[in-house]
């Protein structure tokens, strides 16, 4: 009997091994098949279609594996990487297969002006090849029109519009609600203009916040008008006047907004999507299968040109680029946020790479943890100590902690519309003793020192705790100033005069010495190469990112196939549909989450609540 059972068990074990082998072969075949089809063939003559989805960002948030499967299920596709757009347009400029560029912004939700300027520069450079750029849209907002204005031809739908509403900064103020709830927000700060905490201690905008907001929003609007007017062959004052009279002009045109756009010379013509397709077909030919023009989308084109670039690259010298995008938080953080430990580790790896001749830090951050900012700051100093240059390129926002990590750079570049500065420190945390009083709950007890129990959320902050926190904040501000004094080679008095938590637009930041040069990301890369003694064309640009696990590598390579299989098998659920609808509440949700992270009495923050889009 035991012999028979042994035979059965050995047979089952053998079957298990066979099935295991078959499963591995199936997975291997799936991966190989996906990889073989991941590089599509391009037609000999086509238009490259640039169609950003969601917000254009410096770095996509989250881990690659999660993003891949989210996209496969039809969700999470709400960000487009700026580098993908500019790389594709740059490659298309000299690619004989690409005969035209089509810009379609109907699915784009927005971006900061510096980000838009990087994209517009790429479009302008593409036009130098002599190939046409066609922009179309159902309607153009302030952000989408900034890029569209740089096209050869702009077409708006007959029912469309061009709405240039300017810039604004409105915030919700919660002090009235907190008072009714009996919640006190305990704030300790240095900097007359450090307005990050104002929504919790005021019911309206302070005069200092109003002053700086008027100044930097005015600078942003002026740079916007200059760039768009220049692209359309207008004078800034003409464009300003047309924006000011837009409502009257639409009323006079009986509500025909597309007609007003045409009369204002903001568009080339009024055409439906089908009419635009016919126009592009004249340039690149018709696709017999689709009946539209021959087109290549961004994803397919990038697979081809990046694969081709990998095969022909051979430069030994490299300029490394680290993207620091999002809030600055302690520890190791995923993409879309800046981890003190994770970003410092990337800089350390760069320092230990002898082939890396220079480092560019691309910053798009409102700041955050002072501790994490200091961690990154020290690693940048260590990189510079090797004799290699560090150049900072500022994106939409490099303020407060974002400026802290820029301070040690040899050279700082910004866009005229970058929001920077906000050199100040604060700490804030809530106490709810008044709320407890309202419902009849009291707190009493004893402690052994003047600080015992003074950091409890259910008790008011005592004098010893307040003195300790304010002293710590003052020291933090002095340390912040010291970092800027050393990096900018200015006196403490000069830096303090332009600090105090005040926000500056890039054009003003250069004037007062917080920024060295105004220009693009590519300008900053070239500056780093020059400082390293590298000739143009004799170096490669290497974006340094955390190494992916094998699972993430597979996910990135097979996500196109997965989108067909996983997406079909697991369509978006009702819950996911509701989540998409709830995105309208994301700004409030982000602010509450941000304060939940900051509501700690033993942490200092250098943060700027100063985005302008």
Residue listed under structure tokens 């104002």: 198
Q: With H, G, I as helix, E, B as strand and everything else as coil, classify residue 57.
A: strand
Q: What is the spatial distance between Cα 180 and Cα 183, in angstroms, rounded to a whole number?
A: 8
Judge contact between 243 and 164, C-beta under 8 A.
Answer: yes
532: tokens are: 């390293």
Q: With H, G, I as helix, E, B as strand and everything else as coil, classify residue 129.
A: coil
Q: Are strands 98-104 and 132-137 parallel, antiparallel or unpaired?
A: parallel
Judge contact between 324 and 376, C-beta under 8 A.
Answer: yes
CA 486, 489, 494, 497 torsion-angle sign: negative
Q: With H, G, I as helix, E, B as strand and everything else as coil, classify residue 262.
A: helix
3-state helix vs strand vs coil in the chain, percent to 5 = 50, 20, 35
Order of strands across the sheet that contains 338-339: 184-190, 425-431, 605-607, 367-369, 328-329, 338-339
571: tokens are: 């369509």
Q: Which residues contact 230 (CB under 8 A, 6 or more apart)?
A: none
Q: What is the spatial distance between Cα 499 and Cα 568, in angstroms, rounded to a whole number?
A: 54
DSSP string over 216-251 = HHHHHHHHHHHHHHHHHT--HHHHHHHHHTHHHHHH
DSSP string over 377-395 = HHHHHHHHTTT--EEEEEE
Q: For residue 284, how far is the Cα from the chain centroid?
A: 34
- From the CB of residue 338, how many other CB atoms can be counted at a distance below 10 Å? 30
Q: With H, G, I as helix, E, B as strand and everything else as coil, classify residue 456.
A: coil
For residue 322, which of 481, 530, 528 has the smallest C-alpha distance?
528
Which residues are identified as catalytic?
Answer: 194, 400
Q: What is the spatial distance between Cα 302 and Cα 47, in angstroms, rounded to a whole number?
A: 14
What b-and-e string marks burial along 159-197, b requiring 16 or more CB atoms within 10 Å of the CB? ebbbbbeebebeeeebbeebeeeebbbbbbbbbbbbbbb
Q: Are strands 46-50 and 295-297 parallel, antiparallel or unpaired?
A: parallel
Residue 301 burial (10 A CB sphere; 0-12, 13-18, 19+)? buried
132: tokens are: 């046409």
For residue 402, which of 515, 562, 571, 258 has the smallest C-alpha distance?
515
Rg (CA), the chain: 28
Judge contact between 198 and 209, C-beta under 8 A.
Answer: yes
Q: At what angle do helices 463-488 and 370-384 cross, to 10 degrees?
A: 30
């Amino acid at each position: 009997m035991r012999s028979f059972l042994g035979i059965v068990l050995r047979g089952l074990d053998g079957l298990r091994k066979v099935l295991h082998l078959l499963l591995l072969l199936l997975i291997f075949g799936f991966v190989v098949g996906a990889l073989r089809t991941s590089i599509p063939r391009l037609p000999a003559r086509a238009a490259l279609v640039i169609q950003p989805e969601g917000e254009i960002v410096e770095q996509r948030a989250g881990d690659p594996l999660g993003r891949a499967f989210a996209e496969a299920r039809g969700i999470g596709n709400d960000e487009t990487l700026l580098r993908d757009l500019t790389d594709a347009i740059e490659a298309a400029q000299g690619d004989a297969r690409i005969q035209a560029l089509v810009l379609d912004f109907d699915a784009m939700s927005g971006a900061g002006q510096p980000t838009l300027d990087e994209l517009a520069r790429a479009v302008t450079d593409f036009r130098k090849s002599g190939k046409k750029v066609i922009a179309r849209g159902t309607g153009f907002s302030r952000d989408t029109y900034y890029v569209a204005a740089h096209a050869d031809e702009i077409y708006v739908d007959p029912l469309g519009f061009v709405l240039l509403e300017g810039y604004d900064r409105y915030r919700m103020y919660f002090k009235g609600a907190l008072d009714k709830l009996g919640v006190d927000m305990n704030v300790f700060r240095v900097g007359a203009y450090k307005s990050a905490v104002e929504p919790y201690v005021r019911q309206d905008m302070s005069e200092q916040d109003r002053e700086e907001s008027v100044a930097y929003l005015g600078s942003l609007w002026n740079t916007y008008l200059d760039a768009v007017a220049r692209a359309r062959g207008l004078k800034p004052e003409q464009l300003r006047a047309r924006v000011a009279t837009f409502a009257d002009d639409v009323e006079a045109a009986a509500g025909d907004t597309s007609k007003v756009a045409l009369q204002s010379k903001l568009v080339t013509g009024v055409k439906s999507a089908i009419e635009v397709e016919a126009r592009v077909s004249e340039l690149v030919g018709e696709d017999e299968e689709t009946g539209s023009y021959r087109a290549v989308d961004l994803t397919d084109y990038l697979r081809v040109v990046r694969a081709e670039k990998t095969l022909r690259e051979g430069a030994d010298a490299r300029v490394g680029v680290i993207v620091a995008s999002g809030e600055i938080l302690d520890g190791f953080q995923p993409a879309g946020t800046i981890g003190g430990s994770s970003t410092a580790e990337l800089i350390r790896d760069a320092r230990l790479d002898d082939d890396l001749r220079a480092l560019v830090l691309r910053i798009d951050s409102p700041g955050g943890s002072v501790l994490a900012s200091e961690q990154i700051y020290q690693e940048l100093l260590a990189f510079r100590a090797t004799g290699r240059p560090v150049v900072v390129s500022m994106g939409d926002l490099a303020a407060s902690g974002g400026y802290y990590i820029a301070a040690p750079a040899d050279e700082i570049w910004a866009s005229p519309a970058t929001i920077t500065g906000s050199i100040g420190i604060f700490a804030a945390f809530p106490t709810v003793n008044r709320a407890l009083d309202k419902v009849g709950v009291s707190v009493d007890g004893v402690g052994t020192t003047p600080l015992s129990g003074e950091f409890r959320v259910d008790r008011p902050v005592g004098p010893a705790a307040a003195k300790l926190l304010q002293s710590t904040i003052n020291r933090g501000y002095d340390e912040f100033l010291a970092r800027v004094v050393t990096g900018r080679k200015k006196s403490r008095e000069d830096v303090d005069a332009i600090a105090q938590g005040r926000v500056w637009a890039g054009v003003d930041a250069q004037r007062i010495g917080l920024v060295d040069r105004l220009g693009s990301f590519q300008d900053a890369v070239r500056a780093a190469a020059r400082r390293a003694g590298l000739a143009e064309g004799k170096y490669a640009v290497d974006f340094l990112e955390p190494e992916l696990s094998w699972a993430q590598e597979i996910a990135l390579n097979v996500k196109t196939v997965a989108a067909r299989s996983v997406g079909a098998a697991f369509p978006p659920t009702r819950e996911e549909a509701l989540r998409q609808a709830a995105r309208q509440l994301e700004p409030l949700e982000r602010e509450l989450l941000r304060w939940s992270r900051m509501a700690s009495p033993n942490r200092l923050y250098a943060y700027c609540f100063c985005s302008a889009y």
